[in-house]
Structure 1
Amino acid sequence: MNILIVDDNPTNLIIIREILKREQYTDLVTATSAKEMFDYLGHGEPDAVLRSKSNTFDLILLDMMMPEMDGIEACRILQQNEVLRDIPIIMVTAVGDSKKLAEALDAGAADYVTKPINKVELMARIRLALRLKHEKDWHKERDQHIQDELKLASLVQHAVLSTPITDQQFQIEARYKPSFELAGDLYAWYPLGEGRYGIILLDMMGHGISSSLFCMFIASVLKDTVTTYVEPEKVIQELNRRFNQLHIENQLVQYYFTAIYLVVDTKYKKIDYVNAGHPPGLFFDDQGEVTRLTTTTFPVGLFDRIDAESNSFHYEGDAHLVLYTDGLLEAVEGDQEVQLEFLINQLKQGHHLHQTDVEQVFFEDIIPADRDDDKCLVWISLQEGTDSE
């Protein structure tokens, strides 16, 4: 254990050092002022602090009353240093003023001992401070390990998201801004042959690890489900069946997700979809008319079985279709209809994403809003092209 003893009185330094040596604490450094203490710690010199990080002191015994700078002010300065603030500080003082002692604790001191030094009391407080530091260090290491794993999980989660497609009659891309390291939104699309594409956007209830794990499970079965069942109602029903296989004993929270799944047929200019409790998809035709793809069934996972009926419509000419999660709506103040009208006005500017201000408005936080939900948008551009017989 590395212990730094700071006192302007040489006699006090000798007494404390000898007490600690007899208790088998031999890695001791002494300083006679706050300035000398800062020199040892490399305070004010980031490179010096980093170089000495492996040799950082485990404990500082700091005299409260010193010339030039007292222990309380020195303690406050140490608390402002990200590397040094976790070193426990025990104030050593002859002052019996309770207000001064309270001020020292408020400044960041972990504990205090009074002069003349009582050996038993000093060692008890040192052991307590070191034990608390050990526990704090353990928690910091564990938290860092968790953060590293979360970053890895986030990379894996983003790796399963579909990449843009650019065909003659069909382009699709997405914009995604998760609110946390791990998120509960998932989008995917798959070519189904003969100019058809299966597209899904879902929003898992909640945030964090549990929601992201459920998302990863759905991602693992999506491709097989979409390419096998194809039709929107069958895909949603199969996802509901698979999701309900994740039965957890004594589950206190009912997990579910909203989703909108559609099949775009660019050959016959037809769109089939099921909206499972999701915000309405928006279809913009070449005449400036907007069609809302509203809810047709319950969210996935709420019930063992759901009846899902698909809706269909045809389109002509150039058009675009936008799917999004409710985090995009919540970036706008007002009730749901006001939010939706604002969104429609932003999305109707052109049939291609680059023709709009959507990214600037919704994904660069120009609109003041707390980022307490993921923001996701899927943009599908449909072009007239030439039908292939």
Structure 2
Amino acid sequence: MEDILNHAPCGFLTLSEQGNILAINQTLLNILGYELDEVIGKNINDILSVPARIFYQLYFIPLIKADKPVEEMYISLQSEKGEEIPVLINANQRKDSHLIDCVLVKMNKRNEYENELLIAKKKAESALSAKRKANKELEIALHKLEMKQKELIELNKENDKYKSETQMELHLAKNIQETSLTEPIVSERLQIEAYYKASSELSGDMYGFYTINPNQYGIIILDVMGHGISSALITMSLQSLFQRLILKGMRADVIFKELDNHLNRLFRKNEETWHYCTAIYLFIDTERKTIEYINAGHPPGLWQNNKGEQYELTSTSPPIGSFTDLTFKRKTLSYTKGGRLLLYTDGVVDPYDAHLLTSLLKNNSGVPLTKFKNKLLKLIKEEENGFHKNDDQCFILIDLKGGVDTESVTL
């Protein structure tokens, strides 16, 4: 590396397509506290904090894969001593070699924190003055409160009635949402099972699988940001749209573009209510023995052929609704001798425990699908923890009576 770049006032590194560190300047090494031979060849995840690793997978990689530059993305590094170092990162991919060049600028928020302390001090002084004044008015207020006690009791009764009615409405809405879920499919060429559990009354997760014709099937699973009523309303509006498009046999990229346009229209006039959605869609043709798919920022789908070989259906684009004018690229897999696919939302397992799913698949390749579903539910229950116990849970299992080859072709 040239001496000027090596000692530049900002960090610099070059990554491979897989995220391995190929070059790093001395400035960034000094910030992190590492020697050159300790990081060269390592994956960038080794120098990212845990939250930054998730952000890197969900936003950085999809932007790079979509040939978009990463501009002023705020992430945090982890030094050799385990300290978090906030930085702004700018990056783009070289078109000739697909190497990723990154510039990192260390952020110093000391002044901001000092200003916040001064503001907090002024607020505390103001609150103290207001408290003295409030004490003088308290006696008058207490008298008024006694007069209003009877009225408050009546209002509480009305509130309890309202809460009871609201709970009934939410329960009805939950039943409607669950009714819209598709039933298992069993045919000569494939079998599909699914699982769905809302963290509250309503869920931001949704799935659907549809028989387009006797040889073609459309399968989708999606996760709207957050959970609860707002996410559920958006999920149901997307469900009616993707069901209509899938049953018409529309291409995967057309379906995702329509869903993306729908979300952008919903929040065009109110960015404060903006929601994005991760999703993965499979178009299975059992006669041609092909699987066409798109993954929009969703946890990777997993498949395993009859030889136990596994492959991840990784993200091919950013989440739906995250940016305008998104392009969705399709990929196609071919299969011949039988295989099993697993699609799931991020509430099923911690992203860093995804290896548990691959191990479960590998160790139960010959187990019938319904029995394997029970094993997966048992694993989810055992692994339930603070990360996802309050998140929606949803997965789809697919057995193909013809397995998936290792070659994939981007269309």
Query: Which TM-score bucket, shorter chain as reference?
Result: 0.5 to 0.7
The code of the aligned residue for 1:213 comes to L
User: Are 1:286 and 1:317, in contact at CA under 8 Å, matched by a contact in 2?
Assistant: yes
Is 1:382 the counterpart of 2:400? The answer is yes
**Which deviates further from its counterpart, 314-323 or 133-142?**
133-142
Structure 1 unaligned blocks of 5 or more: 1-121, 331-335
Cα displacement (A) at 1:253: 3.7
Counterpart contact for 2:267–2:274, Cα < 8 Å: no
Give distance in 2, aligned partners of 1:314 and 1:250.
43
Measure, in 2, the Cα distance between the counterparts of 1:125 and 1:216.
45
- What amino acid sits opposite 2:338 in the alignment? D
**1:225 counterpart (230, 245, 252):** 245
Q: What residue is the counterpart of 1:179 in the other structure?
A: 199
1:62 paired residue number: none
SS of 1:279's equivalent in the other structure is: coil
Q: Specify the alignment match of 1:319 in structure 2.
A: 339
1:350 paired to 2:365 = yes
Which whole-Å CA distance do the structure 1 matches of 2:224 and 2:281 have between them? 14
Aligned pair 1:166/2:186, yes or no? Answer: yes
Q: Secondary structure at the match of 2:233?
A: helix
1:236 offset after TM fit, Å?
0.8
Structure 2 match to 1:341 = 355
Give the SS at the match of 1:287: coil
Does the 8 A contact of 1:281 with 1:293 survive in 2?
yes
Aligned residue for 1:367?
A: 383
Q: How does 1:100-139 map to 2 (within 5 A)?
A: 127-139=147-159
1:58 matched to which residue of 2?
A: none
CA deviation profile, 1:228-252 (whole Å, cap 9, x unmatched): 3522112111211122221363331
Say which SS state the counterpart of residue 327 (structure 1) adopts.
Answer: coil
What is residue 216 of structure 2 aligned with on the other side? Answer: 196
- Give the drift of 1:359: 1.6
Q: By how many angstroms is 1:142 displaced? A: 1.3
Instruction: Give, as a single letter, the amino acid of the residue that structure 2 aligns with 1:361.
Output: L
TM-score (norm 1): 0.62
Which amino acid counterpart does residue 327 of structure 1 have in structure 2?
G
- TM-score norm. by structure 2 comes to 0.59
Give the drift of 1:298: 1.3
- Distance in 2, Cα, partners of 1:293 & 1:340: 13
CA RMSD after TM alignment: 2.2
Structure ID, larger Rg: 1
1:140 match: secondary structure? helix
Q: How many angstroms apart in 2 are the aligned matches of 1:373 and 1:126? A: 43
Distance 1:161 1:266 in 2: 23
- State the Cα distance separating 1:254 from its structure 2 match: 2.3
Which of the residues 170, 190, 196 maps onto 1:150? 170
Deviation readout 1:249-282 (Å, 9 max, x if unpaired): 3331420100000101111211110000000000
Matches of 2:220 and 2:384 in 1, distance apart? 29
Tell me the SS of whatever aligns to 1:241.
helix
Alignment of 1:87-102 (within 5 A): none
Structure 2 CA distance, aligned partners of 1:173 and 1:231? 23
Indicate conservation of the 8 Å contact 2:308/2:365, yes or no: no
User: Alignment partner of 1:192: what SS?
Assistant: strand
Mapped contact 2:209–2:220 kept (Cα < 8 A): yes
The one-letter amino acid of 1:145's match is: E
Q: Return the letter of the residue paired with 2:197.
A: K
After TM superposition, the structure 1 stretch with the greater mean CA deviation from structure 2, 315-324 or 348-357, is: 348-357
Aligned to 1:214: 234
- Rounded to whole Å, the distance in 2 between the matches of 1:228 and 1:235 is 10
CA distance in 2, matches of 1:125, 1:249: 43
- 8 Å CA contact 1:347–1:358 kept in 2: the answer is no
2:160 is paired with a residue of what secondary structure? helix
The ranges of structure 1 where at least 4 consecutive aligned residues each deviate by more than 6 angstroms after the TM superposition are 122-125
Q: Is the 8 A contact 1:326 1:375 kept in 2?
A: yes
- Say if 1:134 and 1:304 are closer, same or farther in 2 by CA, change over 3 A: same
Gaps of 5+ in 2: 1-141, 404-411
- Please tell me whether the aligned partners of residues 190 and 401 of structure 2 are also in contact (alpha carbons under 8 angstroms): yes
* Deviation of 1:161 (Å): 0.7
Q: CA deviation at 1:189?
A: 1.2
The 2-side partners of 1:229 and 1:164 are apart by 20
Structure 2 matches for 1:203-282, cutoff 5 A? 203-228=223-248, 230-247=250-267, 249-282=269-302
Three-state SS of the structure 1 residue aligned to 2:383 is coil
Output the amino acid matched with 1:251: E
Change beyond 3 A, Cα 1:188–1:182: same
Question: 2: CA distance between counterparts of 1:161 and 1:194?
Answer: 20
Q: Is the 8 A contact 2:267 2:273 kept in 1?
A: no
SS in structure 1 opposite 2:257?
Answer: helix
Q: Any idea what SS the aligned residue of 2:159 has?
A: helix
SS of the equivalent of 2:182 reads: coil
Q: Is the 8 A contact 1:198 1:230 kept in 2?
A: no
Residue pair 2:212, 2:249 contacting (<8 A) in 1 also? no
- SS class of match (1:198): strand
- Which residue does 2:318 correspond to in 1? 298
Report the CA distance shift for 1:266/1:229 in structure 2 as closer, same or farther (over 3 A).
Answer: closer
Check conservation: 2:302, 2:341, Cα contact below 8 A. Answer: yes
Deviation for aligned residue 1:380: 0.5
